[in-house]
Each structure stands twice: as C-alpha cells, then as structure tokens.
Amino acid sequence: MGRGRLSFEPPLLDGVGASTVACPPGAWATVLDFMTERLPRVSRDDWSQRLARGEVLDAAGVALAPDAPYRPNTRLHYYRLLAHEPEIPFAEEIVFQDEWLLVADKPHFLPVTPKGRYVQQTLLTRLKKRTGIATLTPVHRIDRETAGLVLFCIRPETRDAYQRLFRERTVEKVYEAIAPVRQDLALPMTYRSRLRERDGDAFMQMETVDGEPNAETEIRLIESAGEYARYELRPRTGQKHQLRAQLSALGIPIRGDRIYPVLQPPEPEEAVPDFREPLQLLAREIGFTDPCTGLARRFSSRRRLDGLA
C-alpha cells in the first residue's frame, strides 16, 4: 500500500469525525459481512444503508458500495451517526479563539464528546461544525451535567503541552456550586479526602474511603439565602466527580445532583431528557500560562447558577 493511502484523513461528516477499524484476515466475503459481525450494535440493514449513502470509506478515502468485497490487512473508516438523538436546547458560546486554543462556555446537559445516545448534540461536534476545524480536541473534560469552561487545542501537535498543564496541576480552576447551608461548617476550609470508584452497579459513584488523601478542594462561602448557599470551589486535584463527591460527604450535596448522595436510575434511552433541574455546578474560571505563546491566560464563564432563588 502506498504512503499516500496511509496518510489519508477522512473529512468531517456533519461535524462528526470518522472512526477507523482494522481489517484482519478472515472469511468475510464483503465489507457488509465484516462490519455486521465486527460492530453488531448496528444492524445489517443499517450498515447496508450507510454503505449506500457513502458513509463507509476504504483506506484511501473511496466510498464503498454495499456489495464491496472485503480486503484484509487494510483499514476502513466509518461515521457514527444516530437515527434518533435528543436535542439539547441550550447553546454553547466561544469565549476565546486564536491559532492554538479555543475556549468554550458549555451549557448544562451538553456532553463534551460523543458518547452513548449523543453524537451531534455534543460540544465537540457543535464546535467542529461551527468552526470547520476538524482537528479540534478537548484538553480536559467536565461532566455533561456541569456547565462552564472547556479548553480545546486546535493543532494536534500541541495537545500534550496543554494536557500537561492539567497533569502537572498548573491550572487554576474555580467552580461555583449551589448546595444546602450547613451552619456548623467552618468556612473557608481546605477539604482533603480519599476517593475511589464504587464496585458493582454503583461504579458511577465515587466513595470516600480511609487512606492517604488523593482529592483536595478549597471551599468558601459566597452568599446564602434560606436553606441554600452559593459556594466557591477551588480543586487542587482532579479526581472523577471530586467536587460532587466531596460536598456530598460534607453533608451538602450539590442541588440537582442525580448521582450524590443517592444514585438515581438513568433515563431510558428512548425518553425525552428532563431539563428542568440542572446540576447547580459551574466551571466559572480557569487560568494558566499558555505553553504555546507564554502568555498568562484567564477566562471566565458568562453563565450564572440560578438555584439560589
């Protein structure tokens, strides 16, 4: 196979990048046979329709017909598109963009990257469609339920430099949360705990266990009104669900949280999402020294949590 074939980059299709699958030696007569067996979550009829629409490409980028013969020791590119995808009726905002970096302000409920029932309705896909930048890559993640700032690198060769900022904890992150008032909690405080994923069906939850702390957050009270308060949270580590799990462990779970303190059942795949009670957590500010330009960067979300009312 020539060098040009190996360097082919599939184009975006409606803002979605292609996935790639390797083709091992085997007895499949057609590409349709192979895709049906290798990726069985998509039906044979659906694969046939995707091939007919030109959504499966060979290693050189040529669209394959439904009866295309299977060729081992090569690669196929295909697009992950969903027939029925819930619409997230909230808009993202680009707060900064240069040749290296894009900073987006994400609404609640919008996933950062394609997963599960969401492909088009994700921050990454929306931004690729909006900017036309196929190489856009998130530098870090925040939960689908959380609103606020997310950083994307534009050039693939700079991704590690930006991600290193988070690995080495040289990024200043500031969050806000609406949670119950606890009169006996002395604030400000630095809360340290050890978090780990629960076993079994509750794997989505992190739990607090004995041992050397691996999660640290500075917590301050901004204001209170009735039974709820607005808190400023400055995480110094980046454990999964760190802020949600730690506030729950302190007896002040974040308002609208469907995971802490009690894990709620997931919405059925076919159900229309319920947007009435967003998680009252906002990634409000982020600051760092840009590894590509050397400039001091600081960005702020324009969103505001309304759960104190």
**What pLDDT, on a 0 to 100 scale, did the predictor assign at position 85?**
84
Helix (H) or strand (E) holding 282: strand 281-289
Q: What is the CATH number of the domain that holds 182?
A: 3.30.2350.10
Claim to verify: residue 75 and residue 101 sit in the same structural domain: no
Compute the distance between CA of residue 173 and CA of residue 86 in angstroms, rounded to an integer.
31
Asked if residue 281 belongs to a domain, the reply is yes
Q: Has residue 170 been placed in a domain?
A: yes
In sequence order, what are the beta bridge partners of 298?
287
Same domain, 154 and 244: yes
> Do the domain assignments include residue 308?
no
Domain identity same for 48 and 160: no
Distance CA 285, CA 261 (A): 26
pLDDT score for 204: 82
Q: What is the DSSP letter of 92?
A: -
Last residue of one domain, picked from the residues 34, 53, 79 = 79
pLDDT per residue as tens digits for the range 52-79: 988 999 998 899 999 999 999 999 999 8
Please tell me the total count of domains within the chain: 2
pLDDT tens by residue, 173-230: 999 999 999 999 999 999 999 999 988 766 789 999 999 999 999 999 999 999 999 9
- Residue ending a domain, among 44, 79, 114, is 79
Residue where one domain finishes, among candidates 27, 57, 79? 79
Whether 88 is covered by a domain: the verdict is no
For residues 181 and 215, state if they share a domain.
Answer: yes
Q: DSSP secondary-structure letter at 140?
A: S
Same domain, 148 and 124: yes
pLDDT above 90 coverage of the chain, percent: 77
Q: Is residue 290 part of a domain?
A: yes
Portion of the chain with pLDDT greater than 70, in percent: 96
Looking at the fold, whether 116 and 200 belong to one and the same domain comes out as yes
CATH number of the domain encompassing residue 51? 3.10.290.10
3-state helix, strand, coil in the chain (%, to 5): 15, 30, 50
pLDDT digits (tens, 9 = 90+) for 8-44: 778 877 778 788 999 999 999 999 999 999 999 888 9
Same domain for 234 and 184: yes
How many beta carbons lie within 10 A of that of residue 196, not counting itself? 15
What's the pLDDT at 307?
A: 84
Is 208 domain-assigned? yes
C-alpha separations of 77 from 49, 57, 69, 239 in Å: 15, 5, 15, 34
- Same domain, residue pair 187 and 124: yes
Q: What is the pLDDT of residue 1?
A: 36
- Residue 255 and residue 192 share a domain: yes
One domain, residues 138 and 57: no
Asked whether residue 306 is assigned to any structural domain, the reply reads: no
DSSP codes of every residue in 45-60 = HHHHHHHHTT-EE-TT
User: Are 31 and 150 members of one domain?
Assistant: no
Could you tell me if residue 43 is inside a domain?
yes
Name the pTM for this structure.
0.83
Q: 48 and 115: one domain?
A: no
Which structural domain range is residue 52 located in?
3-79
